[in-house]
Amino acid sequence: MRRYFGTDGVRGTVNKDPMTAEFALRLGRAAGFVLTRHLEHQPQILIGKDTRLSGYTIESGLCAGLTSQGMNVMLVGPIPTPAVAYLTRSLRADAGVVLSASHNPAGDNGIKFFGADGFKLPDEVELAIEACLDDLPPLPKASEIGKAFRIDDARGRYVEFCKSSLPRGFRLDGLKIVVDCANGAAYDVGPRLFHELGCDVVVMNAEPDGHNINSGCGSTYPEQMCKRVVECGADAGFALDGDADRLIACDASGHIVDGDCVIAALAEHMQHEKLLKGACVVTTVMSNMGLERYLNTLGLEMCRAAVGDRYVLEMMRDKGCNLGGEQSGHVIMLDCNTTGDGLMTAVQLLAAMQERGKSLASLVGGIELYPQKLWNITLPCRMDVLADEQVRAAIRDAEASLSGKGRLNVRASGTEPKLRVMVEAEDEDQMLELGESLSNVIRLAVAED
């Protein structure tokens, strides 16, 4: 049983267990021991973070634990999560860490580990770290502790990495785009990347103050991006989340292009260019049935994994696929990076537009999405409301009423104390009625607990 690691590392409210400096220090010691116990060289780990003020606190505690356990720590400062995945490989580190709570408010933070290969740690390694927290290893002698030092050119390295995903000399001249940086980790590298590729860039929310990350902006609140695209006559808009591993786009008319539509556009383009592998695209149980039908018309299979980009990635590797992702905007292109990468996704979409001479609306025009809505129900604690018999009966009744003409998914969030209810149906009125009814039953069960 996991106690601290969720689907995306350890996450919580700052200065409440487990997201405290004290816990970060203990976690650093445990991780330092587990990740390096079989190494024969001086181990190195890289730490990046987003723009939350609490990053200083968590970084200091984690760094103290890692160095006390004998690891050298490379500090790269505020930088996107996918940049840490890349830099861990590029700098030959033994592991990488990101301090971020992704799209969550500034009061939250998280700790997420990558292995030396740039992929997230396997479940068994995270469980070994948790077990080590209960019985911390002995400290090495004073002469064997590690040191911490800064890598000053980390952002520039990542910008060049993103550009290298395109053919040498390929430019995006003539394209005007809006980029919403969510006052997060991409506030510097995002605008710089697109400027260097030749885009006319309108920048939004790129002035982080430690408190305004994701605050009414970014991929969770893309409405202002859509409005700005229309106002300034841009060709497309891109809204990132706090750590820039997810992306929500919009076309020139301000219409949202979510993760499902992005995957559809990339799948069609990659198949056209004979770059798609496995004749398959991996998504999650949340992805729209319209995406599945569209991919089928292209002769492609759509495989659904559990929610969480780590599970999408596992299935992609099992099936030999190079494209997968989530409706929420995590898009994984294994030929480009080892994790979801919002900036890389935007670059590849723009390149497809440029190469095919199409607008973003044209690239996604072939997909027709079913009416779908997500209800988020806050839980007072991580209670198992799905064990309630009335809730289970309501779910069974809702599924029966859909009778194969829609889908229902009810799951506990892996990152927040919330229950997520997704309903999808051919008929929008039926979808809304079922969702509201089921959500009310769940809220009542929560209130009575």
Q: Can you tell me the distance from the alpha carbon of 356 to that of 372, in angstroms, rounded to the nearest whole number? A: 30
Backbone angles phi, psi at 275, to 5 degrees: -110, -10
Q: Can you tell me the distance from the alpha carbon of 96 to that of 69, in angstroms, rounded to the nearest whole number? A: 16
Q: Which amino acid is at 262?
A: V
Measured at the CA of 418, the angle between CA 61 and CA 182, to 5 degrees, comes to 60
If we measure between CA atoms, which residue out of 137, 148, 151, 136 comes closest to residue 62? 148
Read off the tokens for 411: 């799951």
Catalytic residue among 100, 102, 287, 439: 102
Read off the tokens for 90: 């590029």
Residue found under tokens 């809702």: 398
Read off the tokens for 367: 């997909």
Q: How many CB atoms lie within 10 A of CB 318?
A: 12
Read off the tokens for 310: 């780590």
Residue 362 among the catalytic residues: no
If we measure between CA atoms, which residue out of 384, 428, 263 comes closest to residue 331? 263
Length of the chain: 449
Residues noted as catalytic: 102
